[in-house]
Structures are given as structure tokens and as C-alpha cells.
């Protein structure tokens, strides 16, 4: 089963489009790395009936030093085998280096999908695209205010982020589009009807769930994977919070489908 089919199966089993981020912040997680591992294992146990995907961000584990990668492997192994795991690492480099990155995240670490940047061009994406059973999300339009510095530059009559979406589509990959920019998500969806989306930025970053779902959802579970991190991680009741987000996203898809 390839990544997208695994995602669709996990989504159908849970009636969910919720992806839970696993991004421990030392200031908020007592006990150092061991505390971060324990917290994330509790979150997985509490949310695995509501989440169809998990997404640890590599940087939040690398900050703990060499043992951080070992902890990532521990967390990846803690996720039920039917639920895919995305490593949010946003790799970018020339082709031979990207091949090494792909080997690291897919072969050595066993993740189901990863995030990458496309600034080096189409040939830099080829190594990740070559892993047909895995998923690759190309960063297209981000959730931070500084996105306008480059992502909205004119590129032959359309914004640069649309060129990135085109690169991803031609390589049969997916895209990351921040949930704080539903208008841009809608523009990409209008041009690329079947492109799978990962939409982070929900919760503490202020992304609009309903607007993002309206913009992205096309009836396919893989079209609209909504990522929520801190709001679930630091909730008093992880399970209750995850169910709330799952149900809110599901309700939004129902409204979107009725349009």
C-alpha cells in the first residue's frame, strides 16, 4: 500500500482528516527529552482513534541533540501501524544530497512521508519522487507573514507559489499550503484539481479550518489533510481536543461537499 492509500484507509477507518503534530517545546515539556517522549506517547495513545496521521517536526527533536533522532524513531514506532507518519523536515538541496535525505527519512527512519522545498528545481525532487510507495509534500505556500517576500513574486504572470504547485503536480507529489491562506489554497485547487494538500497552521497559528477545507477538499481524503500541533499537544485532555478538531474538520467537509 502506498502512502496516499494508507492515508485514505486510516481516514476512512476514523472518519477523520486530522493530522496531529508532535512538536515538543522544552519550555513547555518538563523532563527534557525523556519527558518529550513520554508526552508524545501519551498523545498518540489518547488520539489514535481520532487522528488519521501524525507529523513530528524534525527540528523539535533535533534541538535535544544526538539522542533526538533516536527519540524520533521511538515516537515513530509508537504510532499504530495502520496510521501514516509524516516527518516534517523540509529538506532542500542538489539532487545527490536529496537522494541521501530521502534514504535517511524513508529507508533508515521508516517514515511514510516527508516535506521538502523545491527551490533547487525539478531535478532536486526526483529522488523523493522515486519512492513511489512514500509520500512527499512540497512546500508551496506557508503560514508565516514573511511568505510574501518570495512566494508572491510574479513569475511569468502568476505568483511563484503557483509555479511550485506546478512542479509538484508534474512530479506526482503533494503540496503544503498554510491554513492561514485559504484564498491561495483555493487558487491552487482551482488549477490543480487532484493535488493532495497538507494544511498546517491550525490552532495556535490562527488558521481557518472551515475556509481551508472549503478551499482544498475535493471529496478525496488525501486532498485535505489538516494538521494541528500545539492545540492538541498542550491541551488538558488530548483525546477530547483531538475529537473536537476531527469533528470540526468533518463538519466542514460535509458543508464543502454540499456546495
Please name which of 105, 109, 115, 31 lies closest in space to residue 74, comparing C-alpha atoms.
109
Is 90 part of the annotated catalytic residue set? yes
**Residue of 6, 27, 55, 90 with catalytic role:** 90
| Phi and psi angles of residue 240, each rounded to the nearest 5 degrees, phi first | -60, -40
**Residue 19 to residues 51, 52, 97, 172: CA-CA distances in angstroms?**
6, 6, 28, 21
What whole-number distance in Å separates Cα of residue 239 and Cα of residue 259?
Answer: 31
Q: Are 117 and 138 within 8 A, CB to CB? A: yes
For residue 91, list its beta bridge partners: 116
Strand pairing report for 154-155 and 158-159: antiparallel
The residues assigned a catalytic role are 90
Amino acid at each position: 500500500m502506498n502512502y496516499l492509500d494508507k492515508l485514505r484507509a486510516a481516514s476512512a477507518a476514523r472518519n477523520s482528516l486530522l493530522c496531529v503534530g508532535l512538536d515538543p517545546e522544552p519550555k513547555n515539556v518538563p523532563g527534557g527529552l525523556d519527558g518529550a517522549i513520554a508526552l508524545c506517547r501519551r498523545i498518540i495513545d489518547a488520539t489514535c482513534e481520532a487522528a488519521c496521521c501524525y507529523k513530528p517536526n524534525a527540528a523539535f527533536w533535533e534541538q535535544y541533540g544526538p539522542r533526538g533522532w533516536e527519540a524520533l524513531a521511538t515516537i515513530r514506532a509508537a504510532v499504530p501501524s495502520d496510521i501514516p507518519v509524516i516527518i516534517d523536515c523540509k529538506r532542500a538541496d542538489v539532487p545527490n544530497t536529496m537522494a541521501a535525505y530521502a534514504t535517511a527519512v524513508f529507508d533508515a527512519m521508516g517514515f511514510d512521508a516527508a516535506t521538502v522545498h523545491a527551490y533547487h528545481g525539478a531535478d532536486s525532487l526526483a529522488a523523493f519522487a522515486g519512492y513511489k510507495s512514500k509520500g512527499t509534500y512540497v512546500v508551496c505556500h506557508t503560514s508565516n507573514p514573511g511568505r510574501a517576500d518570495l512566494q508572491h513574486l510574479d513569475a511569468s504572470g502568476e505568483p511563484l507559489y503557483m509555479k511550485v504547485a506546478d512542479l509538484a503536480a508534474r512530479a506526482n507529489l503533494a503540496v503544503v499550503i498554510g491554513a492561514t491562506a485559504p484564498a491561495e489554497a483555493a487558487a491552487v485547487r482551482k488549477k490543480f484539481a487532484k493535488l493532495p494538500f497538507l494544511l498546517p497552521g491550525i490552532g495556535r497559528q490562527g488558521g481557518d479550518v472551515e475556509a481551508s477545507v472549503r478551499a482544498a477538499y475535493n471529496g478525496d481524503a488525501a486532498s485535505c489533510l489538516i494538521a494541528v500541533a500545539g492545540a492538541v499537544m498542550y491541551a488538558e485532555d488530548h483525546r477530547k481536543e483531538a475529537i473536537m478538531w476531527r469533528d470540526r474538520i468533518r463538519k466542514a467537509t460535509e458543508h464543502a461537499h454540499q456546495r
